[in-house]
């Protein structure tokens, strides 16, 4: 599947649909109400953008449409993280981790998890 560029606002709508689908615009709006002060028209605009991009599909249900994700969350995460790594760290993960370490942004739990992942990767080799 081709890369689909999703804005930050669109990603909030997608997160709602990834958690539960299909949903109407009203249901998506209600789900986002606690974190965003958006009118239902704003949510409908975002859903229409996502529809045009091919990130969601819409199915007629009486007088309303029900929306479901076409773009899978894992595909989007992979594309976003790869794009970030490519732009900021020449596609390499080690400089990213070093950056967070230098900025004191790694907790003891983060470090323990990284060590566990590295050990698992070493065991697979």
User: Could you read off the pLDDT of 53-73 as tens digits, one per residue?
Assistant: 999 999 999 999 999 999 999
pLDDT confidence band for 91 (50 / 70 / 90): confident
Angle at 28 between CA 26 and CA 34, to 5 degrees: 105
Backbone φ, ψ for residue 65 (5° rounding): -115, 145
Domain limits for position 94:
73-124
Whole-model pTM: value is 0.78
Q: How far apart are CA 88 and CA 65, in angstroms?
A: 39
Check if the beta carbon of residue 49 is closer than 8 Å to that of residue 10. Answer: yes
Do 53 and 106 belong to one domain?
Answer: no
Do 14 and 45 belong to one domain?
Answer: yes
């Amino acid at each position: 599947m081709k890369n689909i560029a999703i804005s930050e606002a669109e990603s909030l709508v997608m997160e709602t649909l990834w958690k539960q689908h299909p949903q109407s615009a009203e249901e998506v709006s209600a789900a986002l109400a606690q974190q965003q002060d958006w009118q239902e028209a704003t949510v409908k605009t975002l859903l229409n953008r996502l529809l045009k991009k091919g990130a969601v599909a819409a199915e007629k249900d009486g007088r309303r449409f029900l929306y479901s994700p076409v773009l899978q969350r894992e595909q989007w995460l992979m594309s976003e993280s790869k794009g970030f790594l490519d732009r900021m760290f020449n596609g390499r993960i080690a400089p990213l981790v070093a950056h967070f370490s230098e900025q004191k942004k790694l907790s003891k739990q983060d470090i323990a998890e990284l060590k566990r992942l590295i050990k698992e990767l070493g065991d697979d080799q």
